[in-house]
Amino acid sequence: MRRFTMITAITGALALIATAVAIAAVNWTITLKPSTSWPKATGSSQYQSQGSQRELQVEVEHLKALAGQHVNVFVNGSKWASPAVSSLGIAQVDKNTDRGQSVPTISHGSTVRVRTTSGTLIAGGTY
């Protein structure tokens, strides 16, 4: 009987841990809204987190006038990345802690802003 009680307790504890891990997993996507300076810009940001792994992706399109230049991506007011704009007018960045890259922890209220190197807002959004 004691062995059965111990196995039941361990099984219950493992079920609680599995539930907590499943709840801790995050997969959020937001739309980045264009600024008045770049009204045709479209974009999105996706954040995924599970355990100690975090991944953040940011993409903005319709920036052909900036082709070959860099833009700055700010997360919660801090500069996070400076991707180059492709010849098609797309700037994108994808970083993952599993690749040893720096990824901020995102929570509700976190902001993402994409700006020109001179500081003009292109697009932004809030998680």
Instruction: For 24-57, write each residue's pLDDT tens digit.
Output: 799 999 999 999 999 999 999 999 999 999 999 9
Which residues have a Cβ under 8 Å from the Cβ of 51 and sit 6 or more positions away?
A: 21, 24
pLDDT at 117: 98
Which residue, 59, 49, 38, is CA-closest to 112? 59
Residues 6+ apart with CB under 8 A from 87: 67, 68
Digit-coded pLDDT (tens) for 55-88: 999 999 999 999 999 999 999 999 999 999 999 9
Helix (H) or strand (E) holding 58: strand 53-61
Q: Which CATH number fits domain 26-126: 2.60.40.1170, 3.40.30.10, 3.30.830.10, 2.60.40.200?
A: 2.60.40.200
Beta strands in 8-41 (DSSP E): 26-34
Residue range 97-114: mean pLDDT, rounded = 97
Rounded to two decimals, what is the model's pTM?
Answer: 0.80
